Amino acid sequence: MSGTKPDILWAPHQVDRFVVCDSELSLYHVESTVNSELKAGSLRLSEDSAATLLSINSDTPYMKCVAWYLNYDPECLLAVGQANGRVVLTSLGQDHNSKFKDLIGKEFVPKHARQCNTLAWNPLDSNWLAAGLDKHRADFSVLIWDICSKYTPDIVPMEKVRLSAGETETTLLVTKPLYELGQNDACLSLCWLPRDQKLLLAGMHRNLAIFDLRNTSQKMFVNTKAVQGVTVDPYFHDRVASFYEGQVAIWDLRKFEKPVLTLTEQPKPLTKVAWCPTRTGLLATLTRDSNIIRLYDMQHTPTPIGDETEPTIIERSVQPCDNYIASFAWHPTSQNRMIVVTSNRTMSDFTVFERISLAWSPITSLMWACGRHLYECTEEENDNSLEKDIATKMRLRALSRYGLDTEQVWRNHVLAGNEDPQLKSLWYTLHFMKQYTEDMDQKSPGNKGSLVYAGIKSIVKSSLGMVESSRHNWSGLDKQSDIQNLNEERILALQLCGWIKKGTDVDVGPFLNSLVQEGEWERAAAVALFNLDIRRAIQILNEGASSEKGDLNLNVVAMALSGYTDEKNSLWREMCSTLRLQLNNPYLCVMFAFLTSEAGSYDGVLYENKVAVRDRVAFACKFLSDTQLNRYIEKLTNEMKEAGNLEGILLTGLTKDGVDLMESYVDRTGDVQTASYCMLQGSPLDVLKDERVQYWIENYRNLLDAWRFWHKRAEFDIHRSKLDPSSKPLAQVFVSCNFCGKSISYSCSAVPHQGRGFSQYGVSGSPTKSKVTSCPGCRKPLPRCALCLINMGTPVSSCPGGTKSDEKVDLSKDKKLAQFNNWFTWCHNCRHGGHAGHMLSWFRDHAECPVSACTCKCMQLDTTGNLVPAETVQP
């Protein structure tokens, strides 16, 4: 800071102020600018803070070092060490009228003038100020002053009086220090040891010395070159850092012979080293001509007993600004905050960040630790569901019972949120497949049912007889087109595509009507056209144009359609085939492609990717010959498999091919939920046994568990065992009689040892009602419930005691719960138990087992037992 290089200091107590000193002292006030605009005249320190200049003090020339008074009052008292060795107390700000007024302007004068290198206030006795000076042959270099001392020497040298010319200046000169130390030596740095008020560590010329003011003749010292910038770790009072050239030495005062550690040498000499006051073991260092502050994170508390392990040091560097940094200062209280000043006096305020460790919770909230705070961040409620992550989507879908509607299968896509066209196609496909499988089973049991679930690809392959094509008349037009005669397989395919309804009726009318109702006029028109009914197509388009939500342009399209001519070289044909590519709606586009195509080549329709797969396949079934159709389906299937497009399930069905397709869908989206439900819907056993399918189901169950959707998971398991009987688990719990050792469900269920689940132990429906309280095997009584003391097997009666009875009403409201009340429950630890309902209400108020003299805390033994399933918490 010798004139050119500024230094910077935070006020020790007024934490929003700092001082920059070079040739003068400037006091700044820091303000947050998060909520306000930058005020005129203030300097920007960082993105969210700015500094305003409060006052400038240029009373003290030749400043060499500055130290801020550590006490609360007076606030802005600073000690300035000057080039001539004098130490001047000066103030910044307004408190001239305070009781400490007489302190300001006080000077402490050494006997011989030489440069003052360092100043240090005693942290415990706030009036003590230590000054370190350059060497003088006949004088001491460490002087400790008491700023309150009233002592003035008898003889005041004349020149000093002149220097401080003025009123009563003589009383402000102090020439007698409290202590004098280090004769004939130089002092480069000083710091008080927090261990004791009277211990002073000084970096002398070629040694570090600890002076004990209780006995000034004694000092402890160690020879070293690292004597600059001695500073004590505020968190670990025996740890001291000092530096020399480019090297930092860390000392342990308990083992003072040699440094415990030296940090890697920097190529340039260091200028400042400082411990972070808000964080243990963090040391910041600055070298000359650099824009980087290097931080050393000493993670290990050094022990005095020789530990052979090297302390771990994490080295980091921060670059707060682009210019060379002149000095820096840690903020005294704000965590890891630091202000730096560059040689041209630009300042910058920044925070050194700790490693942020983070973790996701299963419900998509992110938690991280930053500084001493934990932050939790949740996903914003966002209606734009396309942006939602699949994890959130799946969780919401699980809540809306997605996949569980096995009657109206197509409704599942509505449960999924009715937003994904692929899911819509998938569930409609599955719906049709289910419908026609049942249909076929009714007609000829055990025949082709499985074929339906095998997809159109297999259906088309299975068609044996050659299909004749025949010419059909366009309705309303004088034209004929080749159309394949529909055999049974093709009709089935068309049915799966949804074009025609159940039965032998080959009429697309109902389908068109439903499309029109849903407002899909373009699609309806295209389908009508593909069925050679151009009048109907035009009519649909008109309808669309006149409806509320419809597009008026549809009228124009209808007009264009009506101008259709069969003429090969007509203007209409030419214009349509070029202009159709500019149509936005793919269905309008394919309509013209169809009309302008040559007979037998429909690539414009078949390979228009924006048209739904089911419509393209249906079109292909209508117009392509067997070989063409097979080739087309094959090609499309591979395309779908590659892309993981769920519309392709229509082609592959729930076969191995379908699993392949689903695999690439899962790879792409991670949606195991859809994969699990879809595969359970109707896959043959060998497909269900596919490792991948099992793996998806397993993953989905784990997901439900992780979300605490235990009821959903149970529901899924029930659903699964309905559709895939092989996955039904065997009974895992048996209640056996104390006397004969046989399962008490022995006689209740038809199949012994494979009881049909726990609910069967409930007695309400037992045929031997009179003997419900005894073991069906040996007729001995069942154990008694610990609470009502009635033998198990009896239905739960209303409990005595007024308070309990309304709870009972609560429980019995739900029929299922009421049944559950009759179940056996017992503690695995103390073996006491009784009716589940009684136990539940007991443990609602008690921690200990209801059996007297048993101190088992049954309910707390299972930590997860106290958790509420997440579904019930969710709205």
Please report, as residue ranges, which positions from 476 to 505 form the binding site for another protein (by CB under 8 A): none
Q: Is 669 in the site for another protein (CB under 8 A)?
A: yes
Kindly write out the interface string for residues 141-170 of this chain, putting x where it contacts another protein by CB under 8 A and - elsewhere. ------------------------------
- Cα–Cα distance, 651 to 414 (Å, whole number): 22
Question: Least separation, in Å, of the C-beta of 297 and another protein?
Answer: 9
Stretch that binds another protein, among 123-131, 410-418, 493-501, 667-675 (CB under 8 A): 667-675
Whichever of 279 and 472 has its CB closer to another protein, that residue is 279
Report which of 831, 857, 823 is spatially closest to residue 745, judged by C-alpha positions.
823
Whichever of 63 and 659 has its CB closer to another protein, that residue is 659
Q: What are phi and psi of 285, to 5 degrees?
A: -130, 150
Question: Least separation, in Å, of the C-beta of 373 and another protein?
Answer: 6
Among 757, 797, 867, 874, binds another protein (CB under 8 A): 867
- Neighbouring C-beta atoms of residue 337, cutoff 10 Å: 21
Among 663, 783, 787, 827, binds another protein (CB under 8 A): 663
- Cα–Cα distance, 742 to 778 (Å, whole number): 9
User: Cα 114 to chain center, whole Å?
Assistant: 61
CB 581 within 8 A of CB 394: no
Measured CA angle at 6 (ends 3, 8), to 5 deg: 140
- Neighbouring C-beta atoms of residue 421, cutoff 10 Å: 11
Q: Is 857 in the site for another protein (CB under 8 A)?
A: yes
Stretch that binds another protein, among 135-143, 719-727, 789-797, 858-866 (CB under 8 A): 858-866
Please report, as residue ranges, which positions from 703 to 732 form the binding site for another protein (by CB under 8 A): 703, 705-708
Helix boundaries (H) for 133-265: 158-163
Question: Least separation, in Å, of the C-beta of 17 and another protein?
Answer: 22
Stretch that binds another protein, among 1-9, 263-271, 701-709, 751-759 (CB under 8 A): 701-709
Report which of 32, 34, 33, 52 is spatially closest to residue 42, judged by C-alpha positions.
52
Instruction: Produce one character per residue of 575-601: b if its CB has 16 or more CB atoms within 10 Å, e if not.
Output: ebeeebeebebbbbbbbbbbbbbeeee
Whichever of 668 and 722 has its CB closer to another protein, that residue is 668
Whichever of 56 and 861 has its CB closer to another protein, that residue is 861
Question: Least separation, in Å, of the C-beta of 840 and another protein?
Answer: 18
Question: Least separation, in Å, of the C-beta of 633 and another protein?
Answer: 25
Applying CB under 8 A, the site for another protein has a residue count of 75
CB 220 within 8 A of CB 207: no
Whichever of 695 and 758 has its CB closer to another protein, that residue is 695
Stretch that binds another protein, among 346-354, 556-564, 630-638, 796-804 (CB under 8 A): 346-354
Among 699, 747, 749, 791, binds another protein (CB under 8 A): 699
Residue 752 φ/ψ region, left for φ over 0, alpha for ψ in the -120 to 50 degree band, beta for the rest: beta
Among 210, 515, 646, 675, binds another protein (CB under 8 A): 675
- Cα–Cα distance, 681 to 665 (Å, whole number): 17
Question: Least separation, in Å, of the C-beta of 254 and another protein?
Answer: 17
Whichever of 436 and 707 has its CB closer to another protein, that residue is 707
Q: Is 847 in the site for another protein (CB under 8 A)?
A: yes
Please report, as residue ranges, which positions from 282 to 341 form the binding site for another protein (by CB under 8 A): 299-301, 309, 312, 316, 318
How many residues in the chain? Answer: 875
Is the peptide bond preceding residue 74 cis, with omega within 30 degrees of 0? yes
Q: Which residue has the tokens 């001239």?
A: 96
Kindly write out the interface string for residues 14-53 of this chain, putting x where it contacts another protein by CB under 8 A and - elsewhere. ---------------------------------x------
> Angle 626-643/656-669 helices, nearest 10 degrees?
30
Give the Å distances, CA to CA, from 105 to 95, 99, 133, 153, 533. 13, 14, 20, 17, 106
Whichever of 580 and 708 has its CB closer to another protein, that residue is 708
Whichever of 598 and 667 has its CB closer to another protein, that residue is 667
Cβ burial of 669 (10 Å; 0-12, 13-18, 19+) is middle
Whichever of 59 and 307 has its CB closer to another protein, that residue is 307
Question: Least separation, in Å, of the C-beta of 803 and another protein?
Answer: 22
Question: Least separation, in Å, of the C-beta of 303 and another protein?
Answer: 9
Whichever of 59 and 389 has its CB closer to another protein, that residue is 389
Euclidean distance between the first and the last CA atom of the chain, given in angstroms as a whole number: 64
3-state SS of 675-717?
HHHHHHHHCCHHHHCCHHHHHHHHHHHHHHHHCCCHHHHHHHH
Q: Is 72 in the site for another protein (CB under 8 A)?
A: no
Question: Least separation, in Å, of the C-beta of 589 and another protein?
Answer: 23
Cβ burial of 481 (10 Å; 0-12, 13-18, 19+) is middle
Joined together, the tokens standing for residue 390 give 């699949």
- Cα–Cα distance, 780 to 737 (Å, whole number): 8
Among 108, 677, 696, 820, binds another protein (CB under 8 A): 696
Among 695, 746, 758, 826, binds another protein (CB under 8 A): 695
Helix, strand, coil: what percent of the chain each, to 5?
35, 25, 45
Question: Least separation, in Å, of the C-beta of 660 and another protein?
Answer: 10
Stretch that binds another protein, among 267-275, 458-466, 740-748, 860-868 (CB under 8 A): 860-868
Whichever of 390 and 545 has its CB closer to another protein, that residue is 390
Question: Least separation, in Å, of the C-beta of 667 and another protein?
Answer: 5
Please report, as residue ranges, which positions from 255 to 284 form the binding site for another protein (by CB under 8 A): 279-280
Among 223, 353, 418, 733, binds another protein (CB under 8 A): 353
- Cα–Cα distance, 287 to 45 (Å, whole number): 22
Whichever of 429 and 673 has its CB closer to another protein, that residue is 673
Question: Least separation, in Å, of the C-beta of 309 and another protein?
Answer: 7
Whichever of 365 and 570 has its CB closer to another protein, that residue is 365
Question: Least separation, in Å, of the C-beta of 321 and another protein?
Answer: 15
Among 354, 543, 608, 717, binds another protein (CB under 8 A): 354
Stretch that binds another protein, among 123-131, 222-230, 586-594, 854-862 (CB under 8 A): 854-862
Q: Which amino acid is at 874?
A: Q
Question: Least separation, in Å, of the C-beta of 357 and another protein?
Answer: 3
Kindly write out the interface string for residues 803-842 of this chain, putting x where it contacts another protein by CB under 8 A and - elsewhere. ----------------------------------------
DSSP-based three-state secondary structure for 250: strand
Helices (H) and strands (E) in the chain, counts: 26, 36
Whichever of 536 and 708 has its CB closer to another protein, that residue is 708
Question: Least separation, in Å, of the C-beta of 365 and another protein?
Answer: 6
Report CA dihedral (71, 60, 198, 114) to the nearest 10 degrees: 180
The arrangement of strands across the sheet holding 173-174 comes to: 63-68, 77-82, 87-91, 107-108, 173-174
- Cα–Cα distance, 855 to 862 (Å, whole number): 16
Please report, as residue ranges, which positions from 356 to 395 form the binding site for another protein (by CB under 8 A): 356-362, 364-380, 382, 384, 387-391, 394
Q: Is 214 in the site for another protein (CB under 8 A)?
A: no
Sign (positive/negative) of CA torsion 65, 71, 72, 77?
negative
Count of CA atoms in the C-beta half-sphere (13 A) of 147: 31
Look at strands 77-82 and 87-91 and give their pairing: antiparallel
